[in-house]
């Protein structure tokens, strides 16, 4: 697991969320949307595991 600061992790979560939403809104293929979703889930897991 990465040892990111809380603020950096939140920034990365927001960027991943925006990328996911944008890919959905622009009609990207399922595989691309899925990859963004998995990346966002991973960041959220890190946030929870860090106890923030």
Whether residue 32 is contained in a domain is answered as yes
Convert the pLDDT of each residue in 4-39 to its tens digit: 899 999 999 999 999 999 999 999 999 999 999 999
Number of domains in the chain: 1
Query: How high is the pLDDT of residue 3?
Result: 76
Query: How high is the pLDDT of residue 4?
Result: 84
Whether residue 37 is contained in a domain is answered as yes
At residue 44, does pLDDT exceed 80?
yes
Check residue 48 and report its DSSP letter.
H
User: Maximum CA pair distance of the chain?
Assistant: 35
> Rounded CA gap, 38 and 49, in Å?
16
Query: How high is the pLDDT of residue 2?
Result: 62
Query: How high is the pLDDT of residue 9?
Result: 97
Whether residue 39 is contained in a domain is answered as yes
For 14, the domain range is: 6-49
At residue 1, does pLDDT exceed 60?
no
Q: Which two tokens stand for residue 48?
A: 């929870």
Whether residue 38 is contained in a domain is answered as yes
Whether residue 1 is contained in a domain is answered as no
């Amino acid at each position: 697991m990465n040892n990111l600061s809380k603020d950096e992790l939140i920034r990365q979560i927001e960027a991943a969320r925006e990328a996911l939403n944008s890919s959905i809104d622009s009609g990207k293929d399922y595989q691309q949307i899925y990859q963004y979703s998995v990346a966002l889930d991973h960041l959220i897991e890190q946030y929870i595991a860090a106890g923030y």
